[in-house]
Amino acid sequence: MKINPNVPLEYGTEENSNRIFGFWIFLGAEIALFSTLFAVYFTLWNRSGSGPTASEIFELKGVLVETFLLLTSSFTCGLAIHAMRHGFKKATLVFFAITLLMGLGFLGVEITEFVTYVHDGATLSTSAFLSSLFVLLGTHGLHVTMGFLWGAAIMIQIKREGFTPDTTNKSFIFSLYWHFLDVVWIFIFSFVYLKGMM
């Protein structure tokens, strides 16, 4: 395996640099996916039938907590990659751990939110608006869940192997993914929650 010493370790081999490039393209597909979900949501968001409307169910408090958790986790994820570039194994692991815990916290709040909705009689099958809301939020939440599992697996690998071309490459790609989920959340926060509460 030829490792190019002039670039960060995660880019070092041809395979790894292809992986990062490929993941960017995959994120392009993810953008198309979420754009479609947003389009569906905007089409249906005021078609609430006999069910509740957006302003009736949205509550700012939980959403602010979710936003805070995810935005901060994105920041700590960036710190983890920064630490990785400097070869600080322990710091990297700590920052990743904080990132994942915050992700977990985000999921906890989101699940509570869903349970409250369902409890108030706002389910997936109540109206087109709620169907589109649950699927948009659910898809994002599922991504965060997958990200959590993936991140945990990567932490184990860093712990075992230290920084190798493999582990740094995986960590870097994971960080791209995590930042992307954060960006999607900003759109959800602005165009779903804020718009819905106005």
Partner 1 sequence: MKLDEFFVTGEPMIYAAMVSIVVASLAILIGLTYFKKWGYLWREWLTTVDHKRIGVMYIIAALLMLFRGGVDALLMRAQLAVPENGLLDAQHYNEIFTTHGVVMILFMAMPFIIGLMNVVVPLQIGARDVAFPRLNAVSFWLFFAGAMLFNISFVIGGSPDAGWTAYFPLASLEFSPTVGNNFYSISLQIAGIGTLLTGVNFIVTILKMRAPGMKLMQMPMFTWSILITSVIIVFAFPVLTVALALMMFDRMFGGQFFTMANGGMDMLWANLFWVWGHPEVYIVILPAFGIYSEIIATFSKKNLYGYKSMVASMVVISLLSFVVWAHHFYTMGHGSMVNSVFSITTMAIAVPTGVKIFNWLFTLQKGRISFTTPMLYTLAFIPIFTIGGVTGVMLAMASADYQYHNTMFLVAHFHYVLIPGTVFAVIAGFHYWFPKVFGFRLNERLGKLAFWLITIFFNVTFLPLFFLGLNGMSRRMYTYSEGSGFGPLNMVASIGAVGLALGFVVLCYNIYWSFRYAPRENVNDPWGGGRTLEWATHSPVPEYNFARTPNVKGMDAYWHSKKENQPLFEGKIEPIHMPNNSGQPFILGVIFFFLGFFLVFSWWIPSIIAGIAVIIMLAARTFERDHGRHIPVKEIMEIEEKHGGELV
Partner 2 sequence: MKKRGPLLLLFISLIMLLSGCSSKLLVLDPKGPVAKTQSSTIIFSMIIMAVVLLVVYVLYIYMLTKYRATKANEGYEPPHIEGSKWLELIWTIIPIIIVVILSVVTVRSTNAVENVPVGYEDQKPLVIYASSSDWKWHFSYPEEGIETVNYVNIPTNRPIEFRLYAFGPITSFWVPQLGGQKYAMSDMVNKLNLVAEHEGSFYGRNSNFSGKGFAHMEFEVLAQSPADYTKWVDDVKKTASKLTPEEFDKLLATPVVGRKTYSSTHLEFRPAPEGANGGHHHGGGDADAKNNTGSMDHSNMDMDGMNMDDMGSMDHSQHE
Binding site for partner 1 (CB under 8 A): 1, 14, 17-19, 21-22, 25-26, 28-30, 32-33, 36-37, 40, 43-44, 47-51, 123-132, 135, 149-150, 153-154, 156-157, 166, 170
* CA dist., res. 168 & res. 190, Å (int): 33
Q: Does 23 bind partner 2 (CB under 8 A)?
A: no
Q: Does 104 bind partner 2 (CB under 8 A)?
A: no
CA proximity to 103, closest of 141, 49, 139, 129: 141
* CA dist., res. 195 & res. 197, Å (int): 6
Q: Which does 198 bind (CB under 5 to 8 A by kind): partner 1, partner 2, none?
A: none
DSSP tally for the chain: helices H, then strands E: 7, 0
- With CB under 8 A as the contact rule, the residue among 53, 123, 145, 164 that binds partner 2 is 53
> Least distance (Å) from partner 2 to the CB of residue 31?
5
- With CB under 8 A as the contact rule, the residue among 50, 86, 90, 119 that binds partner 2 is 50
* CA dist., res. 187 & res. 42, Å (int): 12
CB burial of 169-179 (b: ≥16 within 10 Å; e: otherwise) equals: bbbbbbbbbbb
Q: Does 24 bind partner 2 (CB under 8 A)?
A: yes
Please list, in sequence order, all residues whose beta carbon lies within 8 angstroms of the beta carbon of residue 25, skipping any fewer than 6 positions away: none
Q: Does 36 bind partner 2 (CB under 8 A)?
A: yes
CB 89 within 8 A of CB 96: no
Name which of 43 and 190 has its Cβ closer to partner 1.
43
CB 103 within 8 A of CB 141: no
Name which of 99 and 171 has its Cβ closer to partner 1.
171
Q: Which does 38 bind (CB under 5 to 8 A by kind): partner 2, partner 1, none?
A: partner 2
Q: Does 35 bind partner 2 (CB under 8 A)?
A: yes
